Structure 1
Amino acid sequence: MTGVFGADAGEVKSVSVMEGHSVTLHMNDTKIQSDTLIMWTFGPRETLIARIHRKANEISIYDDVHDGMFRDRLKLSKLSGSLTITNIMTELSGLYKLTIISTAETSYTFSLNVHAHLPVPFISRVSSQCSSSSTCVVLCSVMNVSHVSVSWYKGKSLLSSISVSDLNIRLSLPLEVEHQDTNTYRCVVNNTVTNHTQHLNITQVCHKCSVRGLHPGYIALMCVVVLGITAAVVKCMLCSKELVYNNNTSSMLRHYRALHENKERNGGGPIQATRKQELDEALVTMIVKDTQPFSVVEDVGFRDYVHKLDPTYVLPTRQAVKAMVEAKYA
């Protein structure tokens, strides 16, 4: 795919292309005299990369400069003076200057931005454990990106957005939804050239754990009812261990009491409601005392730090934090 971009004298023309494509740069004024000297330069030091000396009938391409990164990529039109860069890569981003010298000197400048291929975003749950909560927090993430934005949409309405400039990092944006929510949500990652969309399937991503808090006998029984029996074997819904089934739930009950009962009683699953409330209140106090923006809960470093402190704690969304601050200090 080739993009063709023209510039007027004295302006800086911004050009964005995808890595691997071709781009042609030219001046909008097509009148070039026969004795014209045409020069293309690259970068802040204006390194000469191509030249046409019409009076001497000479065309020169200097593609060995900058450690040869232009090698076999430059094509120069003798007729129009346009420069084509093929199979372009991100390292070729920068300023390209066309200088035409005849009876007077005229220059044309292009600011070329080459974008790496945009990855498709992926959606995951913040906590891999199931929960009895009525809400679910999911993350939309893209890996190794720069100069992109990630946004959540509800239908056609923009809910939140986060951007990164020139850091090659993982970019993530959280969203809190209700398990029973029937609205359409989608995550969009985009740069100035293209975009990719991933739709949220709440039922698939947010596994609501319907067994916590029930009597262990019912948990064992639900292993049979929900997952079924295959070759006299059942599977525990809490740890996926396969157990022998002998037409009763004794083996499942013994397994539950040996491996899961104490964890359930001692809060080995998702964070308890009272503990989450305490941490939410502490977060609100910190934000107010230190005059932090609500968006701090979306910062990747802060989220990683909180996860190290307590992996079971799910940070509230920016909108939820704002509502808590307003409720407490309004």
Structure 2
Amino acid sequence: MKDDDLILWRFGDENTVIAVINKRADRITVYDDVLDGRFRDRLKLDNQTGSLTITNTRAEHDGGYILLINGEMKIFGLFVFDEVKSVSVKEGDSVSLNSDLTEMKDDDVILWRFGDENTVIAVINKPNDRITVYDDVLDGRFRDRLKLDNQTGSLTITNTTTEHDGDYQLMITRRLSSKVFRVSVYDSVHCCGPTEAVIRLVLSALVGVATVIIVVYEIRSRRAERDQAHIQTSGSIEI
């Protein structure tokens, strides 16, 4: 920052000021008691760069943040999600990532992103009545595999392969909500999700027990046959 820079951070629809850096007056002010104290003890300002950090985020911190630097403006959209949903799918099968919406509203905009770089792979823009699938990104790994539900915004990936492993982020921009799905794709040779792994172990154990029972039964049957044959032979000699 320069010696005469003035930085303001604003939040929400009402553009509430939450932090100010006035380099000329050499003053930093954090208004963390505004908005019913939702930012109390959570805001940190970098005096050198003017960057803002929000710690211990909650859903109430979702929203738009405006940065004003000497009159120039930048806008940040923050989406806070409370969990990562794990989904396991067998290679070659389809997997559906549900938005949990029963029906999208006319002003909803939905974005689906994938991977560490948050690459956009699908968009539903209700105001423009447009559905776009970017299945040629990432070297075409999603080509002809993505299906969007225009009513709910849910995403289905068909004919999955291990390269579809990763995090999928659902962003509903008008509602400022976000969800993350962690998809694990396993092949038929290697094992699977934890539930199926337990089932396989139980089945293996049952098969093992059944095998032991059959072997023991076979041994006892043969021993009984030998004893019976011995008794008959002994009886014939005595006669």
TM-score (norm 1): 0.35
Higher CA-based Rg = 2
Q: Larger relative contact order (C-alpha < 8 A, sep ≥ 6)?
A: 2
Normalising by structure 2, what TM-score?
A: 0.48
